[in-house]
Amino acid sequence: MKKYLISGLILASLLCGSCYYDVEEEIYPTLACNTSDVTLSGVVEPLLKSKCYKCHDAANNNGNVTLEGYANLKKYVDSGQFLGAIKHSPGFSQMPKNEAMLVDCDIQKIEAWINNGALQN
């Protein structure tokens, strides 16, 4: 009996490794991801700012990749490298580098923006 209690506690603490994430989509994975009205300035750029600019803004263009500014970003959108990198598709470096993949809903939003023509909106 005691043995089960202990292994239960161990299991619980292992599972709780992910407890502190407060990303809505991870807590409620069944919530639909709202990909309508995704704009560059409202959604995509803020995401890049928080997840990518520390390595890819104009000043920190790691790997010679600058994602700051529409024309710069658009180059990587058109080449497929932007989506390939964040979706961890084969043949692309996995971004954000050495960090957790973007949450699924954020990737879906970026994809929706691209599918709508990757407009400067």
Name which of 46 and 63 has its Cβ closer to ligand HEC.
Answer: 63
Give me the least distance between CB of 26 and ligand HEC, in Å please: 17
C-alpha closest to that of 76 among 114, 104, 108, 49: 114
Name which of 7 and 120 has its Cβ closer to ligand HEC.
Answer: 120
Contact residue for ligand HEC among 38, 43, 44, 65 (CB under 6 A): 65
Report the distance separating Cα 100 and Cα 1, nearest Å.
38
Are 77 and 40 in contact, with CB atoms under 8 Å apart?
no
Tokens at 88, concatenated:
């961890």
Give me the least distance between CB of 12 and ligand HEC, in Å please: 32
Q: How many CA atoms lie within 13 A of 38 on its CB side?
A: 23
Measured CA distances, 41 to 4, 5, 112 (Å): 52, 51, 14
Contact residue for ligand HEC among 54, 80, 115, 119 (CB under 6 A): 54
Q: Draw the binding track, 70-109, toward ligand HEC (x: CB under 6 A; -: no contact).
A: ------x----xx--xx-----xx-xxxxx--x-------
Q: Which residues bind ligand HEC (CB under 6 A)?
A: 51-52, 54-56, 62-63, 65, 67, 76, 81-82, 85-86, 92-93, 95-99, 102
